[in-house]
């Protein structure tokens, strides 16, 4: 079964990378990749839609918002090469879902175990704000991913948009987003967290203890 799932993910990922359904986003990620920022002037940006990544047998699925313009959009992998990625890698390593506590580039040896990371939007949006239409365009990719990832038991939603996307995905009657909130679906356990964005972590809206408590809950739920 794993070989079949890997092949299905490969085919899906090829579709994701080639996607140009959203003209605004396609134009924006090309622009960012060309203009870059000073600290990454010597690097070649990925500049295309991003696939999910992780363990095809994962019981934990993490849904983020979208790639960062100079993070995933540069490195070619979600939550890689930016401050949000630092928090994600460190917490996954702490709780045994990753083999190393940090990841700055796509080929640095990071491997996830029992976890898979995806997002509501596959292209970096201006001001981190994808439109409803753009989210709708990406939604079929998430449907296909969840069908392929047949062992998923727990879904962690990073932020309100990820939570809204998850509610749509699982046909859950919408309930209010709140950090640490836990929802039981007929097949999945959904756990909410503030997104580990610099805006949230540097202002103290999301503390390390709060972040840890989410993944402690995940670990206990899966044990």
Q: Among residues 218, 131, 139, which one has the least CA distance to residue 182?
A: 218
CATH number, position 94? 3.40.470.10
Question: Domain for residue 212, yes or no?
Answer: yes
113-148 pLDDT per residue, tens:
999 999 999 999 999 999 999 999 999 999 999 999
104 by Cβ neighbours in 10 Å (0-12 / 13-18 / 19+) ranks as: middle
Long-range CB contacts (within 8 A, 24+) of 17-20: 17/48, 17/49, 17/51, 18/49, 19/49, 19/122, 19/137, 19/141
38-63 pLDDT per residue, tens:
999 999 999 999 999 999 999 999 99
The 3-class SS string of 18-46 reads HCCCCHHHHHHHHHHHHHCCHHHCCCCCC
Question: Domain for residue 85, yes or no?
Answer: yes
Number of domains in the chain: 1
**Angle at which helices 2-18 and 132-148 cross, to 10°:** 160
Residue 24 belongs to domain spanning: 2-35+51-222
Taking the whole predicted model, whether its pTM rises above 0.85 is answered as yes
**What is the arithmetic mean of pLDDT over 149-155?**
97
Question: Domain for residue 40, yes or no?
Answer: no
Question: Domain for residue 46, yes or no?
Answer: no
**pLDDT on residue 1:** 60
């Amino acid at each position: 079964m794993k070989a079949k799932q890997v092949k299905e993910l490969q085919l899906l990922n090829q579709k994701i990378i080639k996607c140009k359904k959203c003209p605004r986003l396609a134009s924006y990620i090309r622009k960012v990749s060309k203009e870059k920022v000073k600290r990454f002037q010597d690097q070649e940006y990925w500049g295309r839609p991003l696939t999910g990544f992780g363990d095809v047998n994962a019981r934990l699925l993490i849904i983020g918002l979208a790639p960062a313009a100079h993070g995933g959009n540069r490195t070619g992998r979600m939550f890689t090469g930016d401050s949000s990625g630092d928090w994600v890698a460190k917490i996954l390593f702490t709780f045994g879902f990753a083999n190393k506590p940090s990841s700055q580039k796509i080929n640095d040896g990071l491997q996830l175990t029992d976890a898979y990371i995806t997002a509501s939007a596959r292209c970096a949006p201006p001001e981190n704000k994808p439109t409803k239409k753009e989210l709708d365009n990406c939604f079929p990719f998430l449907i296909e991913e969840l069908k392929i990832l047949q062992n998923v038991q727990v879904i962690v939603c990073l932020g309100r948009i990820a939570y809204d996307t998850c509610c749509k995905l699982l046909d859950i009657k919408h309930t209010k987003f709140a950090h640490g909130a836990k929802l039981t679906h007929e097949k999945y356990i959904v756990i909410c967290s503030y997104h580990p964005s610099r805006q949230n972590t540097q202002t103290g809206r999301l503390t390390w203890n709060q972040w840890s408590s989410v993944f402690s809950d995940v670990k206990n739920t899966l044990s």
